[in-house]
Amino acid sequence: MPKISDDKRAARRAQILDAAWICFQKNGLHATTMGDIIRTSDLSAGAVYSYFASKEDLVFAAVMTSLSALRERLEPIVQTSPLPSPEGLVRQIAEVISDFTARDGYDLKRIALLGWSEAQHNDRLRIAMQGFYLAFRDRLADVAGVWKREGRLPDSASERDVAKVILSQILGFVVQSAITGDVTPEQVGKGMADLIGAASKD
Amino acid sequence: MPKISDDKRAARRAQILDAAWICFQKNGLHATTMGDIIRTSDLSAGAVYSYFASKEDLVFAAVMTSLSALRERLEPIVQTSPLPSPEGLVRQIAEVISDFTARDGYDLKRIALLGWSEAQHNDRLRIAMQGFYLAFRDRLADVAGVWKREGRLPDSASERDVAKVILSQILGFVVQSAITGDVTPEQVGKGMADLIGAASKD
Amino acid sequence: MPKISDDKRAARRAQILDAAWICFQKNGLHATTMGDIIRTSDLSAGAVYSYFASKEDLVFAAVMTSLSALRERLEPIVQTSPLPSPEGLVRQIAEVISDFTARDGYDLKRIALLGWSEAQHNDRLRIAMQGFYLAFRDRLADVAGVWKREGRLPDSASERDVAKVILSQILGFVVQSAITGDVTPEQVGKGMADLIGAASKD
Amino acid sequence: MPKISDDKRAARRAQILDAAWICFQKNGLHATTMGDIIRTSDLSAGAVYSYFASKEDLVFAAVMTSLSALRERLEPIVQTSPLPSPEGLVRQIAEVISDFTARDGYDLKRIALLGWSEAQHNDRLRIAMQGFYLAFRDRLADVAGVWKREGRLPDSASERDVAKVILSQILGFVVQSAITGDVTPEQVGKGMADLIGAASKD
DNA sequence: GATGAATGAGTCTTCATTCAT
DNA sequence: AATGAATGAAGACTCATTCAT
């Protein structure tokens, strides 16, 4: 087997990452053994280790891959014009996150919880993850700026604080869904609309 | 040998749980070994095992203990009369959660993340945790009912959905604080007030 | 099993080191697996690792233990009074080394070769080993001083260089015996006497 | 495809053996992996395996090659006429061995130790090595015969025993140099001269 | 002839748990 | 009741060798 093509390499990597996520979701990051992943990926130990040097590397890559996939889905929403209302935005993001779940046994919400937990004791992961969330929050602050100019938010509103609240609402949706399993994007949209009070339209 | 007194037993249990949390926070639930906990607790392996039959038992007890302590702190807030505004309520709860952190190296936010993550693959823990959060959300729904009667929320508001949004906001605060480390209860209060628009006062 | 006595601890250590040398001699330092040593020692993996933190530690301890045992046997020879002649000294040392071999399958010569080889790539071992040989060579230089005063060596003799030659002779005896298996202490004594020429007596 | 020329084959073999020795010296025989050698030789795994069927083969060839190279250098010394004195002979051999070291990172002394150690558990290597050393010792016995005829050694001298002592001195020089790193051919020559007593000249 | 990706048995080490003292 | 030495199954990772391309 001489040099493998780049496409094939990428496909193998994806194959391993898929196997990893199947296992991680079922048993958690730590309870999953390399043996589990190797078995699930239908490759040999050596093959898996030729793509990821260690379990830690694999965990890192798996979390970052999920984050990247999420970013790709979120980007369009915060760039729509005209922008949705706050409750509309949150509802749309919640929908994207929920949709991810549907995809063949891949539950973004559970994955997110595993990643956050891991990041508490894994410096490399925490740094990378911080970068992701801070960048996304910056986009939300931009959105808040537009809302202000549109008169949806008072002039005294803090774009930074509004962005933090919106981000919290999204992260909280993920947690609550994962734990109680009974929260829908619609309910979140309705609840926010009720709270915001005005008969906001998307 | 004479039986040990109940007080002593309870003190020992607490001593072990404290040791466990010190370790869990530093290294996570799985990377923490029973040896770590045994060493930190200044007891012998046998002693620790006479209080908790297994590591899983200890993890379960540790998470539930944190949850109980949190409940005790949260209860008064949702029972104040007159009730705070939505943003005031969230700010107060965020303050309680943040205060927990101050206590000698005990960070409730990080602990919460570990517990949520573990609950994804630990049925006993998930059930117990669901019970806790659903009960708390019921209290929030009661609060939303009062808000409605007070005219703070429209008649068409769904108490259940508002409760979900408030809970998400709190859970999201925990996640965002743990990851980015730059969110304060005041900012969350301000951001919510900006979003809700009316110059609500607590 | 509460605290084990110091004697028992020492006995266990010795039991493990014995097992290690049996394996090392049979298969070499690297081809010997911890599993081999564990099996031979009739202990469990955990027990062995509670005495030696790693294979490297065990190798180090094994080599140093052999060196210490050798020192104890050599010490008396270089302190005899009156001192033997050069060829007598070498013969006596060679005898001690050969005798070590007889002891239940324990061959000091083969062990020495393994240790020297390992020291080429193991800094800790090399340093410790250097200390041992340099100290022993100092004793040989002392002996050479006495020989000079006794008139056995010319006034112009370099005690340091004579010590180096004597040490080489001993080390070389070990190597040659291990490889060809046909060198006796007597032959070495005779050969040296022939070379030195005078009909030296011990 | 056309067969590769014999010259090319020999060059490739040498290239692999050189790479092997670079690695062996740095990390020892066992710690060196085939991957190390393959990488260092700038060839592919398949290429290396087409020249040496196994790691053991490569180790054997590497050791024997060193031995052959040494023999070529030693041969002239024991055939000089007139022969040097015993101390002169040892000094000249020590010089040859030391000179080998100078050659771009190739240290014959360390290599010798690795080979001797390996030979303890590798029958093929031990047999071949014995053959080499016994043959060389025979040459030394021949030299001792000449010394006897020249009157440098007493009539009662045992040529065999003198050869053993000379060989030991050389082997010991290798060991002592490798371990302490502070022995020169001159010191060995001087020490032997001191010991032999007569003001021997080369 | 040459390549280097893939294999998988085997290595060292850890750690939850037990139980003789 | 308390101790902590001992157990041994299991985990992460390596590496000599092969063989499809």
- C101 and C174 fall within a common domain: yes
Looking at residue C198, its pLDDT comes to: 46
Cβ atoms of residues C187 and D191 within 8 Å: no
The residues, ordered by sequence, that sit 6+ positions from C84 with a Cβ below 8 Å of its Cβ are: C77, C91, C92, C202
Chain A residue numbers touching B161 (CB-CB < 8 A) = 187-188, 190-191, 194
**Is the CB of residue A181 inside 7 Å of nucleic acid strand E?**
no
What CATH code is carried by the domain that includes residue B48? 1.10.10.60
- C45 and C92 fall within a common domain: no
Question: What confidence tier does A4 reach under pLDDT thresholds 50, 70, 90?
Answer: confident
pLDDT at A198 over 50: no
* Ramachandran sector of residue A6 (left: φ over 0; alpha: ψ -120 to 50; beta: rest): alpha
- D63 and D39 fall within a common domain: no
Q: Is D194 on the interface with C (CB under 8 A)?
A: yes
Q: CA-CA distance, D33 to D53, in Å (whole number)?
A: 15
The residues, ordered by sequence, that sit 6+ positions from A176 with a Cβ below 8 Å of its Cβ are: A183, B133, B164, B167, B168, B171
Looking at residue C2, its pLDDT comes to: 63
Q: How does pLDDT run across C77-113, given as a tens digit for each residue?
A: 999 889 999 999 999 999 999 988 766 678 899 999 9
- B107, part of any domain: yes
How far is C-alpha D22 from the geometric centre of its chain's CA atoms? Answer: 16
pLDDT at D3 over 80: no
Minimal CA–CA distance to D51: which of D7, D3, D2, D17?
A: D17
- A135 and A192 fall within a common domain: yes
Q: Is B140 on the interface with A (CB under 8 A)?
A: no
Query: Which structural domain range is residue D72 located in?
Result: 55-196
Q: Which residue is nearest to nucleotide E4 (CA to C1')?
A: A2
pLDDT at D199 over 80: no
Q: Calculate mean pLDDT across residues C51-73.
A: 94
A vs B, Cβ pairs < 8 A, gives 188
Q: How does pLDDT run across C37-49, given as a tens digit for each residue?
A: 999 999 999 999 9
Q: How does pLDDT run across A6-58, given as a tens digit for each residue?
A: 889 999 999 999 999 999 999 999 999 999 999 999 999 999 999 999 999 99
- B201, part of any domain: no
- B37 and B111 fall within a common domain: no
What residues 58-87 of chain B have any CB closer than 8 A to a CB of chain A? 86
- D35 and D102 fall within a common domain: no
Looking at residue D1, its pLDDT comes to: 44
Q: How does pLDDT run across B48-61, given as a tens digit for each residue?
A: 999 999 999 999 99
Q: Which residue is nearest to nucleotide E19 (CA to C1')?
A: C1
Q: Calculate mean pLDDT across residues D153-178.
A: 97
* Type of residue numbered B28: G
Looking at residue D168, its pLDDT comes to: 98
Q: CA-CA distance, B45 to B54, in Å (whole number)?
A: 11
Cβ atoms of residues B110 and B187 within 8 Å: no
Domain count, chain B: 2
Question: What confidence tier does A176 reach under pLDDT thresholds 50, 70, 90?
Answer: very high
Question: What confidence tier does A5 reach under pLDDT thresholds 50, 70, 90?
Answer: confident
Q: How does pLDDT run across D161-173, given as a tens digit for each residue?
A: 999 999 999 999 9
- B91, part of any domain: yes
Q: Calculate mean pLDDT across residues C129-144.
A: 97
Q: What Cα–Cα distance (Å) separates residue A125 from each residue in B42, B102, B184? A: 33, 25, 23
What CATH code is carried by the domain that includes residue A98? 1.10.357.10
Question: What confidence tier does A121 reach under pLDDT thresholds 50, 70, 90?
Answer: very high
Q: Calculate mean pLDDT across residues D16-42.
A: 96
Of D12, D31, D52, the last residue of a domain is D52
Q: Is D26 on the interface with C (CB under 8 A)?
A: yes
- B125 and B191 fall within a common domain: yes
- C88, part of any domain: yes
The angle that helices C185-196 and D185-196 make with each other, rounded to 10 degrees, is 80
Q: How does pLDDT run across D78-94, given as a tens digit for each residue?
A: 998 899 999 999 999 99
- D79 and D2 fall within a common domain: no
- A112 and A48 fall within a common domain: no
- D30 and D119 fall within a common domain: no
Q: Calculate mean pLDDT across residues D106-117.
A: 92
User: In sequence order, which ranges of C45-158 are alpha helices (DSSP H)?
Assistant: 45-51, 55-79, 86-102, 108-119, 123-150
- C202, part of any domain: no
Of A116-130, A155-169, D67-81, least confident by mean pLDDT is D67-81
Looking at residue C66, its pLDDT comes to: 92
- A38, part of any domain: yes
CB atoms within 10 A of CB A26: 15
- A99 and A160 fall within a common domain: yes
- A202, part of any domain: no
pLDDT at C160 over 70: yes
Of A94-108, A174-188, B122-136, least confident by mean pLDDT is A94-108
Looking at residue B104, its pLDDT comes to: 67
Q: Structure tokens of A64?
A: 């970052």
pLDDT at C202 over 60: no
